[in-house]
């Protein structure tokens, strides 16, 4: 089981925590399942609302532009065919769903591998408690500087805390989330992941079973 020091918001070490080997200490990082999870996340962000007009949907073109034979032109049936200017689009995109569903086993394996990667690479910090009494960006900036977080940081909270969330909104590269909203893409996309100690406990309580 990996051990990690716990610091306060001033960056001072206040204790140590033993992380679950199931969640944070996988023997081998599964890169294939990480790729699958990231791909599924990005596909699920697509709205799939792009649409083009086919020749039947473009206004006009009801009359045959010239007679079939004797003009020297190629035969044409409509001025809204795809080869005409202002014509319809052939084989263009239509609204569709890009959604990809992953089974529970794959989702968990990807999450555990992503968290293990952060622990192995020393890109994870555990803070005793992340709190803010008022909407103050300066408080969160001071905390991130004190604990040595990188510019691109993901802060994981045990519950919704509007003061902390709003205080982090104006900090470039910093994103906040709750332990039950964690996803593999956000974990891998940050340089440092900062956990509140209670958030670690809740993740281990749910996923270590």
Residue 1 has pLDDT above 70, yes or no: no
Q: Is 53 in the same domain as 133?
A: no
pLDDT, residue 65, reads 93
Q: Largest alpha-carbon pair distance within the chain?
A: 93
- Domain of 166 in residue numbering reads as 3-36+104-207
Q: Is 67 in the same domain as 17?
A: no
Q: Is 53 in the same domain as 138?
A: no
Split into its structural domains, the chain has a count of 2
pLDDT, residue 2, reads 77
Q: Please indicate, yes or no, if residue 124 is contained in any of the structural domains.
A: yes
Q: Is 115 in the same domain as 62?
A: no
Q: Please indicate, yes or no, if residue 143 is contained in any of the structural domains.
A: yes
pLDDT, residue 67, reads 94
Q: Is 124 in the same domain as 54?
A: no
Q: Is 162 in the same domain as 147?
A: yes
Tokens at 129, concatenated: 């408690």
Q: Is 140 in the same domain as 198?
A: yes
Q: Please, which pLDDT band fits residue 209 given cuts at 50, 70 and 90?
A: low
Q: Please indicate, yes or no, if residue 149 is contained in any of the structural domains.
A: yes
Q: Is 32 in the same domain as 51?
A: no
Q: Is 162 in the same domain as 180?
A: yes
pLDDT digit string (tens) for 173-200? 999 999 999 999 999 999 999 999 999 9
pTM of the model: 0.83
Q: Whose structure tokens read 């001072």? A: 12
Q: Please, which pLDDT band fits residue 118 given cuts at 50, 70 and 90?
A: very high
Residue 133 has pLDDT above 90, yes or no: no
Residue 123 has pLDDT above 90, yes or no: yes
Q: Is 175 in the same domain as 88?
A: no
Residue 150 has pLDDT above 90, yes or no: no
Using the 3D structure, point to which of 58, 81, 97 is the last residue of a domain: 97
Q: Is 181 in the same domain as 120?
A: yes
Q: Please indicate, yes or no, if residue 112 is contained in any of the structural domains.
A: yes
The pLDDT mean for the chain works out to 93
CATH number at residue 197: 3.40.1370.10
């Amino acid at each position: 089981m990996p051990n990690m020091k716990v610091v306060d918001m001033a960056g001072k070490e206040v204790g140590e925590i033993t992380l679950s080997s199931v969640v944070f200490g996988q023997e081998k990082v599964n890169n294939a399942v990480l790729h699958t999870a990231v791909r599924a996340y990005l596909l699920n962000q697509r709205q799939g609302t792009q649409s083009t007009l086919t020749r039947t949907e473009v206004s006009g073109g009801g009359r045959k532009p010239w007679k079939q034979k004797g003009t020297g032109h190629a035969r044409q049936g409509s001025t809204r065919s795809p080869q005409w200017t202002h014509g319809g689009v052939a084989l263009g995109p239509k609204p569709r769903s890009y959604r990809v569903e992953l089974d529970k086993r794959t989702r968990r394996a990807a999450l555990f591998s992503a968290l293990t990667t952060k622990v192995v690479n020393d890109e994870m910090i555990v803070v005793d408690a992340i709190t803010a009494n008022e909407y103050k960006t300066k408080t969160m900036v001071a905390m991130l500087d004190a604990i040595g977080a990188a510019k691109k940081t993901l802060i994981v909270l045990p519950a919704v805390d509007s003061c902390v969330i709003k205080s982090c909104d104006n900090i470039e590269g910093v994103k906040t989330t709750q332990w039950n909203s964690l996803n593999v893409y956000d974990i891998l996309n940050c340089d440092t992941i900062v956990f509140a100690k209670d958030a670690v406990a809740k993740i281990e309580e749910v996923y270590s079973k």
